[in-house]
Chain A
Amino acid sequence: MGIEGVKGESDADLVGRVLAGESDCYSGLVARYRDRLGRYAMRMLGNSADAEDALQETFVRGYRSLARCTNPDRFGAWMFGILVNRCRTIGGQRARRHARVQNDEPALERASVAHSETRDALREEINWAIAQLSDTHREAFLLKHVEELSYEEMMELTGVKLSALKMRVARAREELRRLLSEANGD
């Protein structure tokens, strides 16, 4: 069964069909959540290789543990929880090491280059700035401002207390303001 055949079906319907033995229906869930989950992984890990690894591992773990998805109507949120933890693990193992190597020289160069107003230049500055944040601050910032989750949803996903999440978001915002100003030579 291809993706076309699962359009219009709810997440719960697809989860039920996969659990009933129609494994191919999982492709519908992958297609449905690939882009959003991939965006978070990319922003969190900073490179496509790690992001794709995280995404693939997340979907495979989700499939393996699908019977544990006790609320299949919220399959997407459940998968996001898996992805957040995968990114933490992969980030700790690989991405930070890579990011340091990739970012050090460009950071110095970028800070001294006259700012271009082009969209690509701005995007590069933002990617550089977001990579400078600590993992915990970056995670909180992305979940709040890019994925637009509520603090209640963030607490559920991360297991972090409300006060700590608010502090991380606030500090991430402050740090990003400073970094973006530095990148522009302000």
Chain B
Amino acid sequence: MTDSNDKLDRAIELLKEPVELDPAIDVRVMNAIASEPRPNGWKRRLWFVLDWLLRGRSIRVSPLGGLALAAGVAVIVVYSRSLPIPSDDAAVSFAAEQSSAVQFVIVAPTASAVSLVGDFNDWDPDATPMQLVADNRVWTVTIPLNSGRYRYAFLVNGDTWLSDPSAPPVQDDEFGRPGSVVTIGET
């Protein structure tokens, strides 16, 4: 056993040695990201859209009806009908033609703070705080989303990630955290 342990220790030392990779990998990476949008660019554009959509306008949101308040935590997402965006406003020409007010709801009676994080806000914990309603049990927030597929999660008390058990789980998340998928518009 001692001999085999020695071999294993020796193997580990060799596995720690540097490996030879393409010296141009740095260039390849930088070339690849050159075609990517700036990582914060979409966030800035989205907030511009949100500001425009929410300024002095009413957003129709479906009632929560049928909310089953099970013990612990449950999550419900409710969609509204599409909101038309005037096509003659050049300032928002990058927004999709159909935008839906989407209400996200989480039942978290013991939480002290909950925020919604997702592709739509660059997973910024501070971007979309949720409001406490309904007997101090239900947290909710409504945001406009253009047609598309979005990954999202709930961040409870700043450190606990929760997915939505009633929505499809994220299958391709590169971070290994729980998350769900919501698809707006065409599926």
**B39 contacts which chain A residues (CB < 8 A)?**
18-19, 63-67
**B8 contacts which chain A residues (CB < 8 A)?**
173, 176-177, 180
Contact with A along B1-34 (1 / 0, CB 8 A): 0011101101110111011111001101110111
**A65 contacts which chain B residues (CB < 8 A)?**
39, 122-123, 174-175
Does the CB pair A27–B38 fall under 8 Å? no
B89 at the interface (CB under 8 A from A): no
Does the CB pair A157–B28 fall under 8 Å? no
**A22 CA / B33 CA spacing, docked (Å):** 12
Minimum CB–CB distance from A82 to chain B (whole Å) comes to 5
A107 at the interface (CB under 8 A from B): no
Q: Contacting A68 at CB < 8 Å: which of B7, B26, B29, B175? A: B175
**A39 contacts which chain B residues (CB < 8 A)?**
16, 18-19
A59 at the interface (CB under 8 A from B): yes
A70 at the interface (CB under 8 A from B): yes
Most buried by A among B38, B39, B123, B125: B39
Question: How many residues of chain B are within 8 Å of chain A by beta carbon?
Answer: 39
Does the CB pair A56–B40 fall under 8 Å? no
B43 at the interface (CB under 8 A from A): yes
**A21 contacts which chain B residues (CB < 8 A)?**
38, 40
Minimum CB–CB distance from A115 to chain B (whole Å) comes to 11
Does the CB pair A34–B175 fall under 8 Å? no
At the interface, is chain A mostly helix, strand, loop or mixed? helix
Minimum CB–CB distance from B173 to chain A (whole Å) comes to 7
Minimum CB–CB distance from A32 to chain B (whole Å) comes to 11
Does the CB pair A82–B175 fall under 8 Å? yes
**A176 CA / B14 CA spacing, docked (Å):** 14
**A101 contacts which chain B residues (CB < 8 A)?**
none
Measured CB to CB, the residues of B under 8 A from A are 3-5, 7-8, 10-12, 14-16, 18-22, 25-26, 28-30, 32-34, 36, 38-40, 43, 122-125, 172-177
Measured CB to CB, the residues of A under 8 A from B are 18-21, 23-24, 26-27, 30-31, 34-35, 38-39, 42-43, 48, 51-52, 55-56, 58-61, 63-68, 70, 78, 81-82, 84-86, 89, 119, 122-123, 126, 129-130, 142, 145-146, 157-159, 173, 176-178, 180-181, 184, 186
Additional A-B contacts beyond A68-B124, A130-B11 (13; CB < 8 A): A19-B40, A30-B29, A39-B16, A39-B18, A48-B20, A61-B174, A65-B175, A68-B122, A81-B175, A82-B175, A85-B173, A173-B8, A176-B8
